[in-house]
Structure 1
């Protein structure tokens, strides 16, 4: 066979990550609040999108037929949505010649197995003129602006201290030092910077930085600018004029207080039981995190994505929390009207792109809702004993088990379980709560869930007698008698994760 260059034509199939598919994957892992922010941004950007009926934005104005709506599947049964939820992908082929949608599985994970970073729309990008943003229907009806659009500004710890510092320190050089120290505070109000490093960075003397720090420690709230817990508590005690030698000795050995070593504390402080109990009571009344009252982090409420209720047939009724799902419409009537007035190819291309983007967003939201419902249904089926009897009956579960049961990839299940919550008769739980590791059974039966074993350890310790404190070795023996094969180091790890002190500390505490 002669070796020579030649041209060959080969036909092959491959999977390509289109922008629409990437959008669908990103929407799948967003929480409800992030999803609302993303949809709000799309509503502002795309003129063909409108809010659906029942959404917070009010009724759409797009007229009649030709609109399609995204929302939760209208199913309250425990059965997962049918496999035809991916028909919307195939429907795009007729409208988009050359699309590769027919090559893609309805399961997002099958086309992209690696986890992608969560893409969250910045809510700040949605901020506009509050007079127009808050107007809504009120402004249209002549009621003026909406007062609810104005949110009170939270005062940060840095701003609060900066206002006081401006009155306390007048020297410009010392103000620079003070501002630098304020910027080095953590959220609890502790100073996380070394004095010598600050002095070297600012070109000042360490004694001058220390002098500025001493004055800053007099600011409110009392206890800020402390470098450790003992200093934070001592600043608060000095303000109350309760910092005597005995209290200083107690704070110097505060680690013994954490260990409940009362005998050693009485010896070091030179006080009796009554005085020591009074001193400990004063310390407990102090605030170990004085800066925590000034929050800079926006706390988002935990809104369930799925609601699980007891069914009439003895099973469980599973439905999406549709009240928190954004509903959007594609206004085909407006599209047809505007299309007739396009003047050049640029305008036609822009309008076509808006229509395609709107259609994909609507279908992606619908597929997201169906996928969440399908995963939630399988979780409920696997953890039926937990919902019926409690945490002791929580089964060990992993992503592969759920993925194989519903015919999806593990990465898809992982995205669905991120930032999603389920409301049950036993409370609101994150989806990931139901996925726990397995602990082997010593009697050859079913494995035990790690969360169930933690609950059993807590119950054993809560029921122990003050005269018979359970050590980790004793807990291991009791668990093995109950059919749980577990190592001592695992028991110690679970106990520490539950913030339960050791048997020595518990014995001192209960005797004291």
Structure 2
């Protein structure tokens, strides 16, 4: 049998998670304060990037001028901060700093964060650059407890959406994914696609880092990760009992019903006690050790005002940095493109324009989401929380043709100033609770407000039980179960009826 060699020319595209894309994804997730720190650091690192020395408008005109116009005027005011080629918004608070003040935020934030701790471990691994990028994206998704609140499919869809690749219609199951990854090695495979298998591998790498349990997608998975990492210390039967205990009976364990738990697990009292002691030594919130105190104030990025009987959202110019490239440097670089000695400055010029574009895209996305929320929640701004309408991420994503993960980032840690107070944008989201009969559905936020109102008006000698609250809500056309009432009551930090009655008795004594 003869072998034959041949030369083939194949054209293909490679996945490119460019620094610009990574920056855009990360900027959208940052709060206004965090973005300000990022911009301040960029101004320090890049000599071509600078802030405008003068403001487009003074404080009074920026706050009152557009609000006295109609909606078209407000929209035009928003566009002035998003569409200019060289100047992106206004940031009086940053513009008023001295040169020395620009270094203060980094000194104040010198304490190691969970992100710093994890990325430090990532940098000493042998992971490829591609895998490091994927792990970094997962690290940016972790909450303050070190858990991953989003699904792998959402992360994959979000990345592929930014790359311009449509999401696959059928996502293979976790048990079928590895086999599919081996067999699907034909020429038709889209090289742009970030596969679910790649992201799962990145997640497993993240979950191997310190602190134990980091990257778990739930408290149960977080505890199971820690059990696997210490299973060599305990007998196999205790390990199996502990894994089943946290994986299937975590609620029963929290309730302290050990008789029923032992019957469900079918183990001896000795094994159950050993497994229970082991579980108690675990940390369900591995990231809390790196949690830092947060200031009691926030800076709203959106201002909601009424213009001609309609409520509208506009950007707060005080949080939008006015950035530009130094025109003299840029002109000089344009005329010396062929000079190799300017290559480093050419890179910084590209980075400066990329940062300005990422900042503008971030605020444009936040504004689009805020405008949709305000249009949908007109009743809230007129009547208050009890008039909140049902609204979920999917509704916004479908209307704005965005991915749900994009909407989630645009509502997390982004605040709106309203006549009723300053609220996080995700406060305006709530699931639909079916109305009784022909009554319209209510949102969870509205139901919680109704529960607070009913309890505040109750008799201290005879507090309302959860069943009674459910009946009173049903009379108002809101059909909710007793368990739903209990969940919302606990979320509001309100004690059960028996505890409220006992506290009232103690006050009268």
TM-score, normalized by length of structure 1? 0.51
Q: Give the gaps of 5 or more residues in structure 1.
A: 57-73, 89-129, 137-147, 153-294
Residue 32 of structure 2 corresponds to 32
User: What CA deviation, in whole Å up to 9, does each residue of 1:273-317 have, x standing for no partner?
Assistant: xxxxxxxxxxxxxxxxxxxxxx98352631110101110x21123
Matching residue within 305, 323, 329 for 2:324: 329
Which of residues 436, 445, 453 in structure 1 aligns to 2:447? 453
SS in 1 for 2:43: helix
1:320, distance to aligned residue in structure 2 (A): 0.7
Could you say which residue in structure 1 is the equivalent of 2:301? 305
Unaligned runs of 5+ in 2: 57-70, 86-96, 109-290
Give the 3 Å change call, closer, same or farther, for CA 359–467 of structure 1 in structure 2: closer
Q: Offset at 1:351?
A: 1.4
- Please point out which of 457, 462, 465 is paired with 1:463: 457
CA distance in 1, matches of 2:358, 2:35: 12
Quick one: distance in 1 between partners of 2:496 and 2:477? 24
Q: Is the 8 A contact 2:415 2:425 kept in 1?
A: yes
Local SS of the residue matching 1:77: helix
Matched residue SS, 1:504: helix
CA 1:6 to 1:476, structure 2 compared with 1: closer, same or farther past 3 Å?
farther
2:100 equivalent to 1:133: yes
Q: How far apart are residue 420 of structure 1 and its match? A: 0.7
Deviation at 1:348, TM superposition (A): 2.3
Secondary structure at the counterpart of residue 399 of structure 2: helix
Write the mapping of 1:293-442 to structure 2, written as runs, cut at 5 A: 297=293, 299=295, 301-311=297-307, 313-337=308-332, 345=340, 347-442=341-436
SS in 1 for 2:416: strand
* 1:54-203 to 2 correspondences below 5 Å: 54=54, 77=74, 133=100
Question: Per the alignment, in what secondary structure is the counterpart of residue 28 of structure 1?
Answer: helix
Give the distance between the partners of 1:443 and 1:15, measured in 2 at CA: 53
- How large is the RMSD of aligned CA atoms in angstroms? 3.9
For the structure 1 residues 466 and 44, does the alpha-carbon distance in structure 2 shift closer, same or farther, using more than 3 Å as the test? closer
Partners of 1:6 and 1:81 in 2: CA distance: 59
Question: Residue 75 of structure 1 contacts residue 319 of structure 1 at CA under 8 Å; is this kept in 2?
Answer: no
Aligned length: 297
| Distance in 1 of aligned mates of 2:78 and 2:102 | 39
Q: 1:80 to 1:379 in 2, by over 3 A?
A: farther
Tell me the distance in 1 between the aligned counterparts of 2:383 and 2:18: 46
CA distance in 2, matches of 1:300, 1:32: 14
Distance 1:368 1:328 in 2: 14
Contact 1:80–1:377 (Cα < 8 Å) also in 2: no
Deviations 1:400-422 (A, max 9, x none): 11111112111211111121100
TM-score (norm 2): 0.51
User: 1-side partners of 2:102 and 2:83: how far apart?
Assistant: 39
- Per the alignment, in what secondary structure is the counterpart of residue 423 of structure 1? strand
Shift of 1:342: 9.3
Distance 1:480 1:135, change over 3 A: closer
Q: Report which structure shows greater RCO (CA 8 Å, sep ≥6).
A: 1
How far is the alpha carbon of 1:438 from its aligned partner?
Answer: 2.1
Residues 339 and 351, structure 1, Cα contact 8 Å, conserved in 2: no
Match of 1:497 in 2: 491
Q: CA deviation at 1:370?
A: 1.5
Q: Secondary structure at the match of 1:501?
A: coil
Residue 375 of structure 1 and its aligned partner are, at CA, apart by 0.9
Offset, 1:501: 2.2
CA apart distance, 1:383? 0.9
Superposed CA deviations along residues 224-251 of structure 1, whole A, max 9, x for unmatched, are: xxxxxxxxxxxxxxxxxxxxxxxxxxxx
Q: Secondary structure at the residue paired with 1:395?
A: coil
Name the CA distance, whole Å, in 2 between partners of 1:364 and 1:388.
35
Change (3 A) 1:491 1:12: same
Report the secondary structure of 2:74's partner residue. Answer: coil
Distance 1:4 1:322 in 2: 68
Deviations 1:114-158 (A, max 9, x none): xxxxxxxxxxxxxxxx9971599xxxxxxxxxxx99x99xxxxxx
Aligned pairs for 1:199-218 within 5 A: none
Shift of 1:382: 1.2
